[in-house]
């Protein structure tokens, strides 16, 4: 492949031995594999309260969510989940097991959500959060949650309270 601005994979076709269209460079044969994005996050608790962040960015700006975001290169899913909690809520946590795995093919994402205990009640909005809060169960702004998986994750965490081990929940959960 040469270094001109027009070089690189530009033709979408099914390469030999493949079963779906991919971007291919006809000059050198390079195939660009586009793969799902991994989202990592955590349902964080401090005693009987849940940590939520009001989104300061699109999509769903102004709605509440658990701390979560794209996994970075060269980090484990656990490191990514803890990093997202720090970046969005400046909270330090200890992860307590994989809570849920949501495969969302229509947007090419896999969400891996952990259960986490906050090490202190300290939290503050990070650059992607308008505000953060620790909510009792009955105070959670259910009608203003950013995505269905936030409610699914919160509900499953509550169901698993007191259980040291639990199977990860999948996207087949009924909506609240």
54-70: pLDDT as tens digits: 999 999 999 999 999 99
Asked if residues 74 and 49 have their Cβ atoms less than 8 Å apart, the reply is no
3-49: pLDDT as tens digits: 455 667 789 999 999 999 999 998 888 999 989 999 999 999 999 99
- CB 99: neighbour CB atoms within 10 A? 26
Q: pTM for the complete prediction?
A: 0.86
Angstrom distance (rounded) from CA 131 to CA 176: 24
User: For residue 20, what are the contacts with CB-CB under 8 A and spacing of at least 6?
Assistant: 14
């Amino acid at each position: 492949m040469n270094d001109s601005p027009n070089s690189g994979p530009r033709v979408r076709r099914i390469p030999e031995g493949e079963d779906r269209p991919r971007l291919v460079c006809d000059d050198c044969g390079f195939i660009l594999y586009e793969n799902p994005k991994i989202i990592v996050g955590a349902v964080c608790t401090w005693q009987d309260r849940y940590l939520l962040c009001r989104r300061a960015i699109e999509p769903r700006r102004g709605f509440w969510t658990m701390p979560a975001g794209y996994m970075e290169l060269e980090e484990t899913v656990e490191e990514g989940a803890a990093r997202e909690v720090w970046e969005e809520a400046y909270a330090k946590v200890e992860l307590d097991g994989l809570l849920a795995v949501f495969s969302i093919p229509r947007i090419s994402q896999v969400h891996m959500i952990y259960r986490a205990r906050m090490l202190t009640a300290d939290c503050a909005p990070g650059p992607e959060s308008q505000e953060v809060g620790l909510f009792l169960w009955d105070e959670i702004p259910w009608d203003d949650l950013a995505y269905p998986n936030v409610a699914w994750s919160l509900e499953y965490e509550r169901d698993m309270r007191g259980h040291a081990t639990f199977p990860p929940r999948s996207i087949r959960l009924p909506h609240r």
